[in-house]
Structures are given as structure tokens and as C-alpha cells.
Structure 1
Amino acid sequence: MIDPCRARLGGIAALAVAAVMMLAAVTGTALPARAATSLRGLAEAKGRYFGTALTVADLSVSGETGIAGAQFDMVTPGNEMKWDTTEPSNGSYNFGPGDRIVSFAQSHTMRVRGHNLVWHSQLPSWVSALPLNQVQGAMEAHITTEATHYKGKVYAWDVVNEPFNEDGSLRKDVFYNAMGSNYIADALRTAHAADPNAALYLNDYNIEGQNAKSNAMYSLAQSLLSQGVPLNGIGFESHFIVGQVPSSMLSNMQRFADLGLDVAVTELDDRIQLPAGSTTLQQQATDFGAVTNDCLQVSRCVGVSQWGVDDGHSWIPGTFPGYGAATIYDSDYQPKPAYNAVVTALGGSSSGGGSTGELHAVGAGKCLDVPNAATAQGTQLQIYDCWGGSNQLWTRTSGGQLTVYGGGSTMCLDAYGNQTSPGTEVEIWPCNGQANQQWQVNSNGTVTGVQSGLCLDVTGASTANGALVQLWTCSGRSNQQWTFG
């Protein structure tokens, strides 16, 4: 049970930090730079984004939304902006599901990638049943209505999705049959007229390396640009099989960038034949790290988006039987080796790296913090916005302790009163070498007390500044996930 007197420390700390920040704003005093402690923070520090995809169903899963809001800064609606959802019958529009995704993004300071306006799949039957001389009008009306509805709310649109066959020929869908290859230019011009500020993309899979399909996309992009068509970027879906990231991905992305186009990794996942073992998980980490590094090396690569949040809600098992484990979080919302590889690629430190650094609460995107930089023994710990202060810098000792401050003020992370029951407060206390001050920083992202075997836990899975930290039975949830460094 939480001591209410100690609980008030979180509020005191919040007021103190707010006061310091207000003073800095008034006086011009420089504050320490805020540390980049999440995927989104690390990516933004590199001038990129790191995004995910969400469906309306995902919004009701707290494990997913907790990670999504804390770790990612771009959202792609999985299905909610596709034609079969937004215009199921001719002239009858339904933007409710897409609006819910946009609302989630706005409430978590995330941008939205519109997906998509024109695609041969998930197309309502009425479109394909139209006389060919009515298809262009229907397409233009759909694009105009949807792009206008989301004007100012969408960072970019996948205007035409998956236009190519594997051999580089254009798909003979209803749009091609009605307008020939000109439908692509017409779609881009129509989208630009509806929302001139949105970045307009062509998006496809198996174009990541140099091959017949990517060559066809390159030729199409050249042709469109020569005609003055408002094409701004190319999306590389990047649905990979583990160990098969093309070695030519970097050079391929660069050649599109050299045309003056932005490029983006839009739907990244890396499926493994199940069951996943340590070897394949490590290869997956290598793959995710390579893709992230490729993007960082291309100045016009704006960011990377993973398709989904975690393995348990990935589309892969339902589409590719026998495969799964395709994301950087497992089904229990625990970060996998691939997560650490991305963190490292983005310039951060993974859970095993370094001897001194911040302890980042993965689910909240905040740091383990001594309230108000207190040095009093028995001060209960909280999570708070990371800012690089001495009250957020922890040192792992050879004896398994986690110490804060250093010098004559050194204090140890301590389980209150040598208690070993769920709900035990986590505090600072003078270092004494006892077992309740020994901690294991585990490869699965948890931090466990050696004496109790319990996990370092953010109370109530809160993501708020001032949320208290305790020991609790290990559950694998995101509020028990930490990265060190």
C-alpha cells in the first residue's frame, strides 16, 4: 500500500519542475537538453520519425496504445481510410473510423500518414461494376472528398497504393482499364488540388531493392516529374522475411532521393518462421538495424514506420501461416532484440549498454526520477519527463546496485523495509549492500529485485508525470519495461 505522505512528493516535484521551467523561460536561463529516451525522441533528434500502424480495434487495447503513444510519433490507419471503409456505396461516406485514429494521434502529438486513396484491393464492388466511362469521375470525387475531409490533419497521403505487378507492369485494375497509366497522374493532381500541403506518395512492396519492379517505379517517377505532376515521395512498404533485407536497399532509396523525392519506409515488419529462436531473433535485430541505418544515410528519407505495434496484433500470422514474430515488441509487449537494434541505430543505448545513464520507462516514455532531486532517505521514486538531471542518472555497480547522485551524496535504489510483497515501495536509501538493494537489469526489458524476484513497476500502468514506482509481480506489461542508457 502506498504511503499517502510519500505519494505527495510526486506532486511537489511536478510543481518544482514547472517552476524551474517557468523561471528559465522568464530569465533565459539555459536548462539541460531533454534526453531523447524513446524511439520517437531518438528519431526526432535525427530529423526523422518512427511510426506505427493502428486500427480502431487496436485503440481498445491498452498495451498497444500505451506503447504507441509513448514510442511512436507517426500513425498510419491500418484500414480506416481505405475506400471500402470511407465510401462503401457510391457517394455515401463514412469517416468515423478514420477520425478516431486521427483523434488518437492528435492527443498523443503524433502525425498521420493517410493510407490510402486509390488501391485495387479493399475496393467496394460498386467501383469495379461502374461503366468504364464513369470510373474517372468516381475516382476524382472520392479523392477530393476524402482528402478535403482530412485537409490539415494528414501529413502525407499514399495516393496510389501498389500499382505494379512483380514484373514491373502496371496492374490491370479498374482504374487502369478505364484510364490507362494516366490514372496515376490524375489521382496525384486531384489529391494536390484538394490538399496542397499534404506530401503525396506512391507506395508499393518489393521495391526496396533494385529489381524489375523498383525499376518500373523509378521510370514512372521520372515520367511524372517531367510532366510536372505533384509527386513528393516514394513509400517502401518493407514487408520482409527475416534475413532477406536487400543489400541494394540503400542505393535504391538514394536513387529516388536523387530525383528530388522524399522516401519513407512505410510498413516495416520482418516475419520469422515459427517458432522464433534466439538465432532468428538476432537476425531480425540485424535487419531492423540495417533498415533504420539505411534511412539515416539517405538525407531525404523522412522516417520509418512499423506495421503494427506488437507480435500479438500483427497481420502476419493470419496472412502467412506458420510465420509471425514480425515486430520489435513480442506478444506480451516486451521489447525484443530488434527494439534494441533500432535504439542503437538511432544513437541511443539499449537495455544492456553502458554503466551510467537514465532508466527509461518504455510504456510511458519517461524516466525513473527522484522527486524534486531530493536526497532524503526513504524518498519514493516516480517517473517524470527525461531531462538529463542528476536525479535521473543511475549507475549500475559490479555489486548489482543502482546508485544515484554519486560522491558523498550517493544513494541506492532500495526496496522499502526489505519487503518482498507486491506493492512494496521503491525508494532511495543509503547504500548498505543488502539484497533489497541489488537489481538485475534483464535482457527482456525488466528490472527485477534480487531479493524479491519482483519487477520494477509503474503504479497503475500510468504514463503521467509523478506516477509512483513500486515492486509488483512480473506480468510482461509495458509498465514493467525499462531500457538503460
Structure 2
Amino acid sequence: MPSRVLLAAVAAATGAALLLTGPGAQAGAAGTSLKTLAESGGHYFGTALTQSNLSNSTLTAVASSQFDMVTPGNEMKWDTTEPSNGNYNFGPGDQIVSYAKANGMRVRGHNLVWHSQLPGWVSNLPSNQVQGVMESHITTEATHYKGQVYAWDVVNEPFNEDGSLRQDAFYNAMGSGYLADALRTAHAADPNAKLYLNDYNIEGENAKSNAMYNLVASLKSQGVPIDGVGLESHFIVGQVPSDMKANMQRFTALGVNVAVTELDDRIQLPANSGSLAQQAADYATVVNDCLAVAGCVGVSQWGVGDADSWIPGAFSGYGAATMYDNNYQPKPAYSAVVTALGGSSPTPSSSPTSSPSSSPSSSASPSSGPGAGCRVGAVVNAWNTGLTENLTITNTGTTALNSWSLAFTLPGGQTVTSAWNTAITPSSGAVTATSLSYNGTLAPGAATTVGFQATHTGNTAAPTAFTLNGTACTIG
């Protein structure tokens, strides 16, 4: 979706955030890198890069340490690769591919046919010349990158929101048949590349995703080579579709893979602890949905950090949409993804990460005892009658926990209405927050962040005492 102009925008300040700090934190926990964790389960975790990004050493340090798939932001689109009829320019795309090769990363080709960033000369062609030009462009570009690209977004964003096909130069000249022709042409040029159709707002079940589903079913029935559907996943915080997993499953039931291709989750600025916590929950939901579907091959974030995100230039007043802030420090969403992928949440210290925790041994205990210890940090964000509170729980002991219960007393007048990364009972007074299936293991030195939303009658203070599995915790 993002265009060249929008990708040039630099994100506005994100406001207060929960960050990891210390030397090397910008690389975001090398010991629990996203790519290592994803690869251990047979998936990839990617990002998007533009040619200009390659000169930013801070950005590329994060990209090379965390991601194993690269999507070129603009460098393989038609206006770059064939700005005039028959005159090709693969230099910018080649730079992205060279960077990927040098850092052991694969490449998602993006894209061969799209109504946007399309040179005017294509749109102005007589209808009887469009098919030949499209086939020539696909053949030339796919042949140039043959053997160097894992997958192609062959046709990008073919649908309107109501499920009708866009009436662009290709549809107007060839009708709906241009999609099958584009896929067949790409396959002939590079038979080993995975071929995708890619679009936005098809993450849940709706008119647009129904149209994509019907198209894929039709293409498969005709024997047209198609390997996958890309779900762009440009979300607004708190609005990840609840039926995303079910939607993925119905696509994979057709015999194709799915991938999350352009993930970001925009926040109305300034970001605060509550919106960042919700963003973390959203990122975890997307990753968990993918992991739960056998045919979901991986997730790619669109951009590396907030400083190179396209969102502020496209959506006025919004930003902070990625896992890394303007200084390429990891945000709560990063920790949530690490946890979702099976790693240990990083801890805020000069040693920015813990290694992925091993399976708890028989000596690991959920109760207090020798070697027990804990620390709890609380961050409250309050408004007229409500608040959100994030609790970072650190195991400061020498014994691993394989489940945990955090007990504390809510100040008078506070009533919990919802929670994330934990279950809290009862809703007021003396309460207990318990671990969930994915965050119960806390190795020594490891931490996890949970939180809740509550109403209040005036007292917005944080609890003053916590016990973890019966052990009193330090505060801060």
C-alpha cells in the first residue's frame, strides 16, 4: 500500500513509551531475535527497506539482527524498474537484494503489477497494447531476479472495498483475466518463486476478502499458478479483526499459503502507556493467529521503526505504528512478539534481553521458597473516570517459575474492566493476576509485562505492595 511519497515521511515524536535501554538495545535483544525465534518454528519474520534506509547504520543494525526477510519498499515497483517503455532500471532493487544476501536474508519481490506508482505511459497505452506490455514487464523483471527472490507479489491491491476489481489500465484492457495472465507469466519467468496476490483490509471476513477468496478459488480451479495470499495488515490500534485466524484458515483450505506482509498498528499521537500496551496485545494477536494456522508462513512489518514508517505521512495525527521507536529502541510490542514466538520477554536493563528460556526443569516451582525474588514496576495512565496500568514483573530470584500469581490490592474505587496478558480476579479490592499459557515461564532475570484497564472514582494511584507466588516484591 505505501507509496514513494508516503514512505519518505518521518514519524512524529511518539511521546512517553515503555522502552528497553542500554548499550546495544537498538538491536533489540540479539539473544532472542525475532528471526531466530520465528525460524525455530519454521516461519520467517521480515521487514521492508528502501534504498535510502541502507545508509542508516542504526536502522540496518536492527534490520540485520532481527529480520530474515526483506521487502523492497519502492525499488521493484513499475515506476522505478521501467520508467519509460522498454527502458529498465534495476539498480535500486539490486542494492536491496545485495544487502539481503550479505545479511543472510531472503527477499519478497514487491511488486510486478499495481495500479499505483504506475508510469503514465502505461496508463496512456491503447488497450490492445496493454497485455503485451504487462507480460513483457513481468517477464523482464522476474527473469532479472530469477533465483534471488523467495516470492513475488504478482498483483498488488486488485480490489475495491466492495469487492469489485479496480478499473485500472490492466482491467480496462483485459478484464478480470489479467490476473491469471500475470500469474502465468511470472511463473514462466521464474518457476521457483512463490506467487502471491496481496491486498489490504482482507485480514477479516468481509466483502473484500470474500472477493479475494472467490478469486483464488477460481484461479485454483483453472490450474493457474498461485501459491499465496498476502494480508497487508495495516491496522489501527485495538482494531485487529477477531476473525483473522478463521479468515487465514479458509484461504489455506483452498491450498494456498498466507502471509502477513506489511504489518503496522497505528496509534493516535501522542502514544501513552495504554495505547502502547494495546499495540503490544495487537502484535501478539497477529503473530499468534499466524502461528496457529499451518499455512501461514511468516510475518513482515512494514518498516523497521517509527522513524522510517510511512504512517505519519499518510494518516494525520497517527504514528508510533511499529515495534521500534524513533530511536530504534524496542517498544512493548517487541516484547509481546518475542513472547508470542516462544522467547522470554526482554528486561529493561543494560543487558537488554534474556535468551529464550529453556523448558522449565523439575526444580522450577510456582511457589515461594529458596531463591525466590521479584520486582514489580507499575505505570499508570489516567483520565476522567478511567485508567490503564501496566505491570512489569521481573523474576529477581535464582529459581525459574513455570507459572505465577501476582497478588495486590487495588486502591478504593478502582474496578478492573479488562486485562491483557493476564487474568485478574476479582475485579476490585484484593485481586490476583495469574499467568496465561504463553507467559507463565519466567527464568531468573526474565520479565513479562501485563496490564489492565479500570474505572475509578478519583483515586488513580498504583497498588503499594505486590506478592508473587507468596513472595513480597520490591517496587520499581
TM beyond 0.5 = yes
Q: Report the equivalent of 1:127.
A: 122
* Structure-1 separation of matches of 2:328 and 2:184: 41
Deviation at 1:387, TM superposition (A): 12
Q: Deviations along 1:271-305, whole A, 9 cap, x unmatched?
A: 00000111110000000000000000000100000
Q: Report the equivalent of 1:350.
A: 345
1:401–1:301 distance in 2 versus 1, CA, 3 Å: closer
Q: 1:133-152 to 2 correspondence within 5 Å?
A: 133-152=128-147
Q: Report the equivalent of 1:188.
A: 183
* Structure-2 separation of matches of 1:194 and 1:398: 59
Residues matched between the structures, number:
344
Which secondary structure state, in structure 1, belongs to the residue aligned with residue 112 of structure 2?
strand
Q: Does 1:95 align with 2:94?
A: no
Does the CA-based 8 Å contact 1:270-1:284 persist in structure 2? yes
Of residues 45, 49, 64, the one that matches 2:44 is: 49
Which secondary structure state, in structure 1, belongs to the residue aligned with residue 321 of structure 2?
coil
Of residues 53, 56, 64, the one that matches 1:58 is: 53
1:402–1:243 distance in 2 versus 1, CA, 3 Å: closer
Deviation at 1:67, TM superposition (A): 0.2
* Structure-2 separation of matches of 1:337 and 1:175: 43
Root-mean-square deviation (Å): 2.7
Q: Does 1:162 align with 2:179?
A: no
Q: Report the equivalent of 1:219.
A: 214
Supply the AA of the counterpart residue of 2:298.
G
Q: Deviations along 1:207-230, whole A, 9 cap, x unmatched?
A: 000000000000000000000000
Q: Report the equivalent of 2:257.
A: 262
Q: Report the equivalent of 1:73.
A: 68
Q: Does 1:197 align with 2:192?
A: yes
Of residues 318, 324, 336, the one that matches 2:331 is: 336
* Structure-2 separation of matches of 1:246 and 1:397: 39
Which secondary structure state, in structure 2, belongs to the residue aligned with residue 263 of structure 1?
strand
TM-score w.r.t. length of structure 1: 0.67
Of residues 289, 301, 304, the one that matches 2:296 is: 301
Q: Deviations along 1:395-437, whole A, 9 cap, x unmatched?
A: 9976999999xxxxxxxxxxxxxxxxxxxxxxxxxxxxxxxxx
Which secondary structure state, in structure 1, belongs to the residue aligned with residue 209 of structure 2?
helix
Deviation at 1:352, TM superposition (A): 3.8
Which secondary structure state, in structure 1, belongs to the residue aligned with residue 345 of structure 2?
coil
Supply the AA of the counterpart residue of 1:301.
C
* Structure-1 separation of matches of 2:236 and 2:325: 17
Does the CA-based 8 Å contact 2:343-2:357 persist in structure 1? no
Which secondary structure state, in structure 1, belongs to the residue aligned with residue 333 of structure 2?
helix
User: What is the identity percentage for the equivalent residue pairs of Structure 1 and Structure 2?
Assistant: 71
Q: Report the equivalent of 2:35.
A: 40
* Structure-1 separation of matches of 2:357 and 2:264: 32
Q: Deviations along 1:319-363, whole A, 9 cap, x unmatched?
A: 11100000000001110000001000000011249xxxx95669x
Q: Report the equivalent of 2:243.
A: 248
Does the CA-based 8 Å contact 1:36-1:45 persist in structure 2? no
* Structure-2 separation of matches of 1:243 and 1:37: 26
Does the CA-based 8 Å contact 1:36-1:42 persist in structure 2? no
Deviation at 1:37, TM superposition (A): 2.1
Of residues 199, 212, 235, the one that matches 2:230 is: 235
Deviation at 1:55, TM superposition (A): 0.1
* Structure-2 separation of matches of 1:242 and 1:89: 40
* Structure-2 separation of matches of 1:70 and 1:278: 27
* Structure-2 separation of matches of 1:387 and 1:295: 22
Q: 1:311-322 to 2 correspondence within 5 Å?
A: 311-322=306-317
* Structure-2 separation of matches of 1:268 and 1:112: 16
Q: Runs of 5+ in structure 1 lacking a partner?
A: 1-34, 368-385, 389-394, 405-439, 445-485
Does the CA-based 8 Å contact 2:395-2:446 persist in structure 1? no
Q: Report the equivalent of 1:285.
A: 280
Supply the AA of the counterpart residue of 1:135.
V
Between the two structures, name the one with larger relative contact order (CA 8 Å, sep ≥ 6).
2
Supply the AA of the counterpart residue of 2:266.
R
* Structure-2 separation of matches of 1:86 and 1:387: 45
Does the CA-based 8 Å contact 1:176-1:183 persist in structure 2? yes
* Structure-2 separation of matches of 1:171 and 1:229: 20
Does the CA-based 8 Å contact 1:289-1:342 persist in structure 2? yes
Supply the AA of the counterpart residue of 2:282.
D
Deviation at 1:63, TM superposition (A): 1.2
Q: Which has the higher helix share?
A: 1
Runs of at least 4 residues off by over 4 Å: 358-362, 395-404, 440-444
Supply the AA of the counterpart residue of 1:136.
Q
